[in-house]
Every structure is written in structure tokens, then in C-alpha cells.
Structure 1
């Protein structure tokens, strides 16, 4: 099964481990009470517990081809006690997740919160979940994050693919318009053009300018912008800045 950007289900699954290892390295021997400024309600411990719990939750659902959502609060996820080795616990969840994903047919139906109700949703989603929270951890401890370009290019597209399904965010219902366009462009080549229509938004891979255009050095910069890990004020913006701020305020998930 080919995914956008040429990725496959197996390639997504195998890329997760490297991201989890990078996150574990960032948090190892750090103060777990360190604030995570990109997730204001969390400290480093809560960030790691969330990420490792999501990995284990997804592992169980993929393993069982769950037809319905499992309740994480009802699962024993082995979260370490205060003072426990968070980095080791986080790393320990990556292998079983990748193994569960590789062991299933990517086209097998199962519950997913996105539009693609198949196993393949989870390989892609868990890669980018891991990337974004690795970035959170690095920013919290003062490491300048970098995202591999091939990962980031798919990560921006995945954000736009899942955004309409984040139903816990009622603000998403406002993401419509009369043809207004928002362009995200990276100096390394990847570019996206978002068009607001009366029925919502659509996007295409295009370097055409928009009513507002954001220019960043890399696709990684644009992925961090999409997921709210960096501000548009960090980049060159041309055109209708109010339109961009309107999008940012309503597309945060």
C-alpha cells in the first residue's frame, strides 16, 4: 500500500522507533517537573506519560483489530511511579507498537478516529504523534528540534488529512470561506495551498502564492507551524496576516 509522499505502512511503522529514541534521549536524566511550554498544562513527566500511553493504547487496538475505541483510563499501561525511569519506559513501548503494526494487513478494518478506518491510519498517525511530542520534549529542555525532511513533508500533509476529523475541537466547524487561500512554502521545495470553501477547506501540493503566504526554511518548520509548535511570527509572512491568524486559532488540535 502506497501512502502520500511515497511512504508505505511498513516504512511508517519502522520510522517510529527512531523518533521515540530521540525523545527518550531528550528527557533522560531531566527534571520531570520541567514545564512543557508547547503543552502549557503539562510538565515533562506528563508529556512522556501521555506519549508512552498513546503508544501502548494504539498497540493494543492494532493487535486486536479493535472495532471500537479502547478506553485508555481502563487499561494497565505500566506507567512508572514518581521517580521511575521515564525514558526507559517510553523506549520500551516503541518496539511492540512497530511489531503490532507490521504484523497486520494495512488494509484490515479497525476503529480509528480519522477518515481511514484501517490499520494503516495508525502507522502514519503514531509516527507523527511521536515526532510532535519529541519536538515538545526537545523544546522543553532547550534543544533546537529538527525534523527529517521526508518525515516532515508527510507530517504536514497528514495534519491536513486528519484535521477535519478532530471532532473534539468545535472551532474546526468555522474553517470555511469564500475561496480565500493560505500558502505554506518551504525553501527546500515542499509547498501546500489551502483553499477555504463554503463546505470547508481543501488543500493541494502547490507552490502558488495565497492570499497569505508563509515562507519557511524547511518542511520541518512548516510541520511545527501546522501543529502549533512554532508561531507564524517566526517566519516570513506575505499578505493577509489576519487570515493566517484566523486559521491558526481555529485549526489548533
Structure 2
């Protein structure tokens, strides 16, 4: 998927957001369960984070916000000191879905990524949900799986936005690996990408086959989870500089 989202793409993204929201809510039974992939969080914090992110997107889109605003600055509809639950999550998801369906994708709004249009938000909200649904499943001992076509788009959404994640650029710059390359190869779908570490911690990437200083092969689902720090490189096939791959992944995940 390119950075310009068609009507068909938007409908598919919104449908998947609806599905993923319901899947996450269904997992949110005991809110005291720890979530190991989000250190220090229980299900209560996980659900609250996702629901607050939905309300953030709604606030930006409905208010046609043009200046930077972060999710913590947006009202949560929760009493002070209270966490969200499954019903609260689904209420926010319903509001998000209605907003996405009725907002012009070309509307100019603030985003933290490169695309200052409303069309940036559905894709970001989908993969926020996908990864946190995976967090919930891992916490419950369930092996998460992302459909290959969704995971392929997720890898590209991650790489598309990563150069604009300012909170990641500084730690990447401190790795001292400028010019290093990492190649990703999906084993179950048509997906290959090469990431090049550039100056000042910024990255560039290109699709297609190439040789990298480090290369990793696995299912598209596993590659997506790997980029987000939810899969260990040990679970995939790695060639070349394993230390580079491990250090880069630990730093780049967000």
C-alpha cells in the first residue's frame, strides 16, 4: 500500500480496526493480568492506552487539529484514577469508526508522521491495535498471528513512519552504525525490504531483494512482530551480523 489511501483501502482498514477492537476487548477479562511485552503494564494499562489513542485520533480529526497534540492531552471520559475496561474500549472504538467513516481522507490535520492528512490515521490506528492485540495474546499464552497481507502493510507502515519518530532517532544515532543495512524477507508472501541506517539516527528503506549486513527471514507476521519487539530474532532465520540486528531492533521498536 502506498501513502495515498484509496476509498477501497480506507474501507478495508476501517473494517479491520473494527475487528481488531472487538478481538482486544474479548481478551480483556481480568484487567490485573500483567503484560510482559509492555513492562510495568497490566491489562488495565493496556486497554486504557489503546482506548485513549482512539480518543486522540477522534479529537484530531473532528477538531481538524493542526498543531502537535499528544494522547495524554485529550479527555479520556474516565474518572480520575480509573482505568478503562472492555466496554470503555469499545465505546471509543465506535466513536473512532464513525469518525473515520465520515472524515474526508484528504483533510489536512496534524500527524506525527510524514503525511499531514486524515488518511494517515486509519492505518496508524490499525497497527496500534494489531500490536497491542498481540501483547494481550502473548500475556495470555496465545501465539499471535497477523494475516500475511495485513502484516506486509504493517511492515511498510512501520518503515514509512520510523524516520519521523523523533524519540527513536537519537538512540539510533548513538548506536554508531551509520551506513549499516538490514534486509527483511517474508517467507510466506511477496515482501522484501532493505533498511539503511543513515545520519543523525534517521533511516531509509526500499522494497525488493538486496544483500544486507544482517538479514532475517520469517513469515510476514513474525517480521512485523519482530520490528515491534514482540518476536525475538532467535525465532526467525538470521544471516550476517546478528549483533547489529539485535541492537538495532531493540532501539528502533516503538
TM-score by length of structure 1 reads: 0.89
Whether the 8 Å CA contact 1:212–1:244 is kept in 2: the answer is yes
Provide the residue aligned with 1:120 in structure 2.
119
| 1:85 shift after superposition | 7.5
Q: Secondary structure, in 3 states, of the residue corresponding to 2:142?
A: coil
Q: Name the structure 2 match of 1:38.
A: 37
The alpha-carbon distance between structure 1 residues 242 and 85, as it changes in their structure 2 partners (threshold 3 A), is closer
Distance 1:84 1:48, change over 3 A: closer
Aligned partner of 2:50 in structure 1 is 51
* Distance in 1 of aligned mates of 2:83 and 2:242: 46
Q: Residues 143 and 4 of structure 1: is their aligned pair in 2 closer, same or farther, counting only changes over 3 Å?
A: farther
Alignment partner, residue 185 of structure 1: 185
Query: Where do 5+ consecutive residues of structure 1 fail to align?
Result: none
Alignment of 1:227 with 2:199, yes or no, is no
Q: Name the structure 2 match of 1:102.
A: 101
- Determine if contact 2:229/2:250 at 8 Å carries over to the other structure: no
Number of the residue aligned with 2:86:
87
Residue ranges of structure 2 left out of the alignment (5+ in a row): none
Q: Is this contact kept in 2: 1:135–1:145, CA < 8 A?
A: yes
Answering whether residue 77 of structure 2 is matched by residue 78 of structure 1, we say yes
Aligned 8 A contact 1:63 1:101 in 2:
no
8 Å CA contact 2:173, 2:199 repeated in 1:
no
Contact 2:44/2:83 (<8 A) preserved: no
Residues 1:118 and 1:212: Cα distance change in structure 2 (over 3 Å):
same
SS of structure 2 residue aligned to 1:168: helix
| Structure 1 counterpart SS, 2:166 | coil
| Distance change (3 Å), C-alpha of 1:236 and 1:5 | farther
* Distance in 1 (alpha carbons) for counterparts of 2:214 and 2:221: 19
Instruction: Specify whether residues 196 and 84 from structure 1 end up closer, same or farther in structure 2 by C-alpha distance, changes over 3 A only.
Output: closer
- The number of residue pairs the alignment matches comes to 250
Following TM superposition, by how much is the alpha carbon of 1:112 offset from its aligned partner in structure 2, in angstroms?
0.7
Per-residue CA distance 1:123-177 (angstroms, 9 max, x = gap): 1110111111111111111111111211111111111111121212331334775
